[in-house]
Chains A and B, each alone.
Chain A
């Protein structure tokens, strides 16, 4: 019952997208097969980042209870192992779904296997994973300054995923600007794929450069984390 539930639940998400494409056929020049590439990369990257960042969920709780000093993971660890099992299954499901969709799209578009296309897609995946991981780091870092659970940050992580799985061109200027220059969501997947699929007439090497913005973002996020750690130590603990 549980496994079939997971299986079905991963598909209801994309079902909504399929319904819209079935009716409207394309969105701003992107077909379902092309969107599948962005969708796949986004969900795969998010799944890995979320899985790797799971430690941060418990982290903000540790700060709240003042356990950071002790870093006594064992009692907390067992508790979260129970909860984490279900969550990990969910993330695996998301990753597999993303991969399946990506492969479907690539096959439909007849993308050659060992080519520039694969390189760009792989880099986009790495960039996306880095970006989302960076966002989770920022979310955890903010718990140094406020003890609230910062659900607003979920807008950038889950909201970013929701928005990022579509071609950025459909959003308004403010959105595009924010997701290009502040949180480079558009840069890690949309721009490289737009170049690859020739929706944008930009040179191919830019398609390789764009995903690196995700890695840069992750680096900056980690710097922010370091600042947070230093400040925490200096507030006398």
Chain B
């Protein structure tokens, strides 16, 4: 356990070095959020029928999305990627930590720490000045918190899968080029999922990316009523377990290949 905590701490210290980048990133995201809100407002202005979510809810979705941007499994640790590619990852096997756990902790640090750094200022600014509304109720707020924990676990497990997939591809480029776009679209970052066409909803409701952003946003705004949250929290956990199990399985297989190739 201590080993994992040490890894987390090291990552946080590394991240805090890049303070000006953090500021610039914050300004960029606020700007992006403002643009998206103006776009949505303009679209809603000529909406004649009622939409699956109100404009105010859509705006809240946008801000939660901006706050949680770093939580999406869209990039991997360059250092880790290099280690996998050139096989140095084998040295990690010498440490008294299991490889899946090691990668998972690195991924957790990658997801959690930037998100904490970025989300708090975004939420404060958006809440005070930019039309982010409060959670629909205290219960919704707490459920939102729980869903965020699940979302973090889920996203970390997915990030870990991406890293593990690097064992199997010659260059990670194909997947890595694709992942940001797929992630942003299916999590509801580009456009809130409730606004997608009706015929896509069944598919969108089942895919795992929604567990990272869409489900927490819906809980926050009350689109998912309190009575139903256990289904959705369960949804997040099921996908989390799936990715952990698959990841562990793939690592076992990769390690066997490693050994056979005379490592």
Report A's interface with B, CB cutoff 8 A. Answer: 1-2, 4-6, 8-9, 12-13, 15-16, 19-20, 22-28, 86, 148-152, 154-155, 159, 162-163, 166, 170-172, 175
Residues of B within 8 A of A151 (CB): 21, 24-25, 28
A162 lies within 8 A of B32 (CB):
yes
Assembled-state Cα–Cα distance A12/B174 (Å): 15
B39 lies within 8 A of A16 (CB):
no
CB < 8 Å: which of A5, A16, A24, A163 contacts B178?
A: A5
With known contacts A9-B177, A24-B47, A152-B24, A170–B38 Cβ distance under 8 A: yes
Residues of A within 8 A of B185 (CB): 12, 15-16
Report B's interface with A, CB cutoff 8 A. Answer: 20-21, 24-25, 27-28, 31-32, 35, 38-47, 51, 169, 171, 173-175, 177-178, 180-182, 184-185, 190-191, 195-197
**Can you sample 5 A-B contacts with CB below 8 Å?**
A12-B184, A19-B195, A24-B47, A27-B42, A154-B28
Residues of B within 8 A of A175 (CB): 38
Residues of B within 8 A of A6 (CB): 177
B31 lies within 8 A of A155 (CB):
yes
Tell me how far the C-beta of A86 lies from the nearest C-beta in chain B, rounded to whole angstroms: 7
Residues of A within 8 A of B46 (CB): 24-28
Tell me how far the C-beta of A114 lies from the nearest C-beta in chain B, rounded to whole angstroms: 34
With known contacts A151-B25, A151-B28, A172–B184 Cβ distance under 8 A: no
B42 lies within 8 A of A170 (CB):
yes
CB < 8 Å: which of A26, A159, A170 contacts B31?
A: A159
Assembled-state Cα–Cα distance A170/B34 (Å): 12
Q: A20-B39, A25-B46, A152-B28 are in contact. List 6 more A-B contacts (CB 8 A).
A: A2-B171, A9-B177, A12-B184, A19-B197, A23-B195, A170-B42
Residue ID in chain B nearest A163 by CB atoms: B35
Assembled-state Cα–Cα distance A28/B45 (Å): 8
B181 lies within 8 A of A13 (CB):
yes
Assembled-state Cα–Cα distance A2/B28 (Å): 29
B182 lies within 8 A of A20 (CB):
no
Assembled-state Cα–Cα distance A27/B31 (Å): 20
B174 lies within 8 A of A1 (CB):
yes
Tell me how far the C-beta of B49 lies from the nearest C-beta in chain A, rounded to whole angstroms: 10
Tell me how far the C-beta of A145 lies from the nearest C-beta in chain B, rounded to whole angstroms: 15
A27 lies within 8 A of B43 (CB):
yes
Residues of A within 8 A of B180 (CB): 9
B28 lies within 8 A of A159 (CB):
yes
Assembled-state Cα–Cα distance A19/B31 (Å): 22
A155 lies within 8 A of B27 (CB):
yes
Tell me how far the C-beta of A60 lies from the nearest C-beta in chain B, rounded to whole angstroms: 14
A152 lies within 8 A of B27 (CB):
yes
Residues of B within 8 A of A13 (CB): 181
A9 lies within 8 A of B35 (CB):
no
Assembled-state Cα–Cα distance A210/B185 (Å): 35
Assembled-state Cα–Cα distance A23/B58 (Å): 14
Assembled-state Cα–Cα distance A16/B209 (Å): 16
Residue ID in chain B nearest A28 by CB atoms: B42
Tell me how far the C-beta of B260 lies from the nearest C-beta in chain A, rounded to whole angstroms: 25
Residues of A within 8 A of B45 (CB): 28
A9 lies within 8 A of B20 (CB):
no
Tell me how far the C-beta of B42 lies from the nearest C-beta in chain A, rounded to whole angstroms: 4
CB < 8 Å: which of B35, B51, B175, B195 contacts A162?
A: B35
B43 lies within 8 A of A20 (CB):
yes
Residues of A within 8 A of B190 (CB): 12, 15-16
- Residue from B45, B177, B182, B195 having most chain A Cβ neighbours under 10 A: B177
Assembled-state Cα–Cα distance A172/B27 (Å): 18
Residues of B within 8 A of A5 (CB): 173-175, 177-178
Tell me how far the C-beta of A162 lies from the nearest C-beta in chain B, rounded to whole angstroms: 6
CB < 8 Å: which of A2, A22, A24, A25 contacts B174?
A: A2
CB < 8 Å: which of B28, B51, B173 contacts A86?
A: B173
Tell me how far the C-beta of B75 lies from the nearest C-beta in chain A, rounded to whole angstroms: 14
Residue ID in chain B nearest A158 by CB atoms: B28
Tell me how far the C-beta of A97 lies from the nearest C-beta in chain B, rounded to whole angstroms: 12
Assembled-state Cα–Cα distance A27/B40 (Å): 9
Assembled-state Cα–Cα distance A171/B42 (Å): 8
A23 lies within 8 A of B178 (CB):
no
Tell me how far the C-beta of B125 lies from the nearest C-beta in chain A, rounded to whole angstroms: 15
Residue ID in chain B nearest A15 by CB atoms: B185
Assembled-state Cα–Cα distance A6/B196 (Å): 23
